[in-house]
């Protein structure tokens, strides 16, 4: 079964329902759309607005506030959000569309090659993009994928040819001396000198990437060359760093976002000097805490999550079968080899940033083993709340702060006039129970309504 979506104007609402079918008509955004009745979280750390309304014109938000103060034009199509919570579309600050939770890169990428190659890779990325959108993730920062395929899916989504999360793509990451199935599958490129690093950035920028990913193992001069070349093109640099020395190099070289820091057990709580340096520089961090250190014990506690029938519906059957097969003996997977140590340090790893007041975005490495796109972000947000972040700050991290740290703060991340119309409606009150974010009922992306309940 090939899942696509169809749109119909029913009850005056353009509703795009994802389901079985063979054609993918383009959705037309209505002229005026109003979401009326529910509680509104704007993405700012202020009290919620009760019985609110959000008015959308085309793909932009034009008004948001108490329903009694928002003038809904007579021609507007109205979506009743009574009894629900409205908040900005979530932003995933670290995802991988080429992966779908499969347990082993050594077999996943060869499986793709043996089952259609690029055609299957496209199918995988389409599946990931749709899973993310359905989870309320209206924007995803993809940090590692072969260049042409990821740019192609990004552009097809933007044109409305594919239903999916909005993608900002880095294409291949830049590394030194990396080998193996992971490097090949995620399209990593190796450099040997800072000059080569700068040339690589130049090449990626000219190809049209949205940001640069610098992998661990680079020298300070490499990071510096990458940052200088990227900033010339107005691109931000995200560094994949764990060890204290790598983090320090990336920080001092001016890397814009420090990814993975504080997770993985390779760098148990950083030195106070490094934390102070990060905080004083106002340098954003994205911890990617939940994969491995929380996903593993959560799966041990409830392995049934791997066979969730709701999740199964989000996969083409042959891909689901392959993913299931790879997870048969999941505790033995190489990916989880060091998880015991990661679990030992996991709480301090997250708390060191929460308590120091660092600028924290929210990203998950979604697509990595058992870290499914359909749930990775709410799990990551829950971990931050469990570690002491207020629900409001955690939601702001996944919306407003994420938008700012990826350089899209003017268009995305909050519900206020002038922003792109990315709004999600969830069942329940996430300020009371953050897991309400797993209950996404309606997604509005760029002014188009998607619903699947």
Under the rule (CB under 5 A), what is the footprint of Zn ion?
240, 365
Q: Which is nearer to Zn ion, 215 or 346 (CB)?
A: 215
Query: Tokens in use for 290?
Result: 């939940």
Q: Which is nearer to Zn ion, 288 or 414 (CB)?
A: 288
Q: Which is nearer to Zn ion, 126 or 365 (CB)?
A: 365
* 163 and 16 Cβ atoms separated by less than 8 Å: yes
DSSP 294-328: THHHHHHH-GGGGG-HHHHTTS-HHHHHHHHHHTT
Nearest distance from C-beta of residue 301 to Zn ion, angstroms: 25
Nearest distance from C-beta of residue 161 to Zn ion, angstroms: 26
Question: What are the beta bridge partners of residue 360?
Answer: 285
Q: Which is nearer to Zn ion, 7 or 214 (CB)?
A: 214
Quote the DSSP letter at residue 397: I
| 369 alpha carbon, distance to own chain's centre | 16
The closest residue (CB) to Zn ion is: 240
Quote the DSSP letter at residue 203: H
> 3-state DSSP call for residue 191?
coil
* 223 and 255 Cβ atoms separated by less than 8 Å: yes
What's the CA gap between 378 and 384, in Å, rounded?
10
Placement of tokens 């069942």 in the chain: 427
What's the CA gap between 247 and 50, in Å, rounded?
42
Q: Which is nearer to Zn ion, 210 or 365 (CB)?
A: 365
* 451 and 441 Cβ atoms separated by less than 8 Å: yes
Q: Which is nearer to Zn ion, 86 or 128 (CB)?
A: 128
Distances (CA, A) of 202 to 184, 228, 234, 256, 452: 21, 10, 12, 17, 42
Q: Which residue in 245, 208, 211, 243 sits closest to 227, CA to CA?
A: 211
Q: Which is nearer to Zn ion, 136 or 144 (CB)?
A: 144
């Amino acid at each position: 079964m090939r899942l696509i979506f169809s749109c119909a104007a029913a009850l005056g609402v353009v509703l795009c329902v994802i389901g079985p079918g063979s054609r993918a008509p383009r959705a037309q955004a209505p002229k005026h759309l109003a979401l009326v009745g529910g509680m509104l979280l704007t993405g700012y750390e202020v009290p919620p607005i009760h019985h609110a309304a959000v008015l959308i014109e085309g793909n932009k938000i034009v008004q948001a506030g108490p329903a009694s103060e928002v003038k809904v034009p007579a021609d507007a199509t109205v979506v009743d959000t009574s009894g629900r919570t409205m908040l900005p579309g979530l932003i995933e600050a670290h995802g991988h569309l080429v992966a779908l939770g499969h347990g082993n890169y050594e077999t996943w990428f060869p499986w793709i090659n043996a089952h259609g190659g690029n055609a299957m890779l496209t199918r995988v990325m389409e599946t990931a993009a749709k899973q993310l959108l359905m989870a309320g993730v209206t924007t995803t920062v993809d940090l590692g994928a072969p260049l042409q395929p990821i740019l192609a899916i990004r552009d097809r989504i933007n044109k409305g040819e594919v239903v999916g999360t909005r993608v900002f793509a880095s294409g291949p990451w830049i590394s030194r001396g990396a080998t193996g199935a992971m490097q090949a599958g995620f399209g990593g490129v190796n450099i040997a000198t800072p000059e080569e690093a700068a040339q690589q950035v130049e090449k990626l920028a000219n190809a049209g990437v949205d940001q640069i990913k610098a992998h661990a193992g680079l020298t300070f001069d490499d990071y510096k060359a990458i940052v200088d070349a990227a900033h010339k093109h107005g691109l931000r640099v995200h560094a994949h760093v764990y060890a204290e020395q790598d983090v320090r190099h990336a920080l001092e070289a001016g890397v814009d976002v420090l990814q993975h820091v504080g997770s993985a057990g390779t760098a148990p709580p950083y030195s106070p000097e490094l934390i102070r340096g990060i905080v004083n520089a106002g340098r954003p961090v994205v911890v990617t805490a939940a994969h491995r250190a929380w996903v593993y014990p959560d799966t041990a506690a409830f392995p049934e999550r791997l066979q969730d029938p709701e999740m199964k519906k989000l996969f083409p059957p042959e891909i689901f079968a392959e993913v299931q097969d790879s997870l048969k003996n999941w505790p033995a997977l190489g990916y989880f080899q060091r998880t015991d140590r990661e679990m030992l340090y996991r709480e301090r790893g997250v708390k060191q940033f929460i308590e120091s007041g660092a600028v924290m975005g929210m990203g998950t490495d979604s697509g990595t083993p058992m870290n499914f796109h359909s749930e990775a972000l709410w799990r990551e947000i829950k971990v931050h709340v469990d570690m002491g972040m207020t629900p409001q700050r955690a939601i702001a991290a996944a919306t407003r702060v994420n938008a700012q740290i990826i350089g899209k703060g003017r268009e995305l991340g909050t519900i206020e006039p002038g922003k792109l119309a990315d709004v999600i409606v969830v069942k329940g009150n996430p300020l009371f129970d953050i897991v309400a974010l797993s209950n996404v009922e309606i997604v509005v992306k760029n002014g188009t309504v998607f619903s699947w309940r």
